[in-house]
Amino acid sequence: MGVGAADLRRWVGAFADTVVANEQLLTSLDSAIGDADHGGNMARGMKAVVAKLDADPPATPAALLKQVGMTLISTVGGASGPLYGTFFLRMAQSVGDADELDTAGVGAALRAGVAGVVARGKAEAGDKTMYDALAPAVDAYDAALGGGELAEALRAAADAAATGRDATTPLQARKGRASYLGERSVGHQDPGATSATFLIETAAATLPAP
């Protein structure tokens, strides 16, 4: 039993809930090294995504992921809008017209999404961005894939994302708004890496068949 549109819908819904519940946290992380809007940006976008999906539920994984990406792009703005938007658009491209994704398919889609983030944002490892959570996550996913279990792979990915997120704290930012702070960006956890970790954690919690 693979991952279908309904599973993806569950994931996106859980991500939206988590983002909304953590809006203050994300904003206060962004206050320290940015402009105090990451929570608001993500909450606004994910609420719009959920409203859109409810109003007009897409039937296929690709349609759903595309809808999510397009909605984020047109409602978020800032850095996170294009980045998360591109992430989902590239996932949509990756899944093609499949009705269900197997474990490898999920991994390929996530990797395509992360590649999209890099294509758009040019971040490298250690720049102190969401990429520092996403990149280890897809690597861990692929490494765990040998085991064959979706739940296991996603759990490994989520743990790696959290580790990557935590590892952003001592870094000096080289991309995004935090880079303006130079050395003063050291010692603060990156807000985008934090929301990206929610993304992978909610995938681990929702995508494996319940």
Ligand X SMILES: Nc1ncnc2c1ncn2[C@@H]1O[C@H](COP(=O)(O)OP(=O)(O)O)[C@@H](O)[C@H]1O
Using CB under 6 A, which of 83, 92, 137, 199 touches ligand X? 83
- CA 41 – CA 181 distance, rounded (Å): 21
By CB atoms closer than 10 A (0-12, 13-18, 19+), residue 146 is exposed
Query: Interface with Mg ion includes 78 (CB under 5 A)?
Result: yes
Using CB under 6 A, which of 58, 61, 78, 85 touches ligand X? 78
Show the site string, 37-66: x = touches other proteins by CB under 8 A, - = not.
x-xxx--x----------------------
Q: Which of 72, 13, 21, 18 is nearest to 44 (CA)?
A: 72
Query: Interface with ligand X includes 193 (CB under 6 A)?
Result: yes
Q: Which of 5, 29, 4 is nearest to 196 (CA)?
A: 29
Query: Interface with other proteins includes 184 (CB under 8 A)?
Result: yes
* Angle of helix 103-121 versus helix 131-144 axis, rounded to 10: 160
Using CB under 8 A, which of 81, 107, 113, 116 touches other proteins? 81
Strand segments, DSSP code E, in the chain are none
Q: What's the closest the beta carbon of residue 38 comes to ligand X, in angstroms? A: 3
Instruction: Pick between residue 36 and residue 70 the one whose CB is nearest to ligand X.
Output: 36
Identity at 39, one-letter amino acid code: G
Instruction: Pick between residue 83 and residue 200 the one whose CB is nearest to ligand X.
Output: 83
Find all residues with CB under 8 Å of 45, minimum gap 6, and list them. Answer: 71, 72, 75, 76, 80, 81, 84
Using CB under 8 A, which of 36, 98, 115, 118 touches other proteins? 36
- CA 195 – CA 165 distance, rounded (Å): 9
Residue numbers of the site for other proteins (CB under 8 A)?
27-28, 31-37, 39-41, 44, 73-83, 120-121, 174-177, 179-182, 184
Residues that bind Mg ion (CB under 5 A): 30, 34-35, 37-38, 78
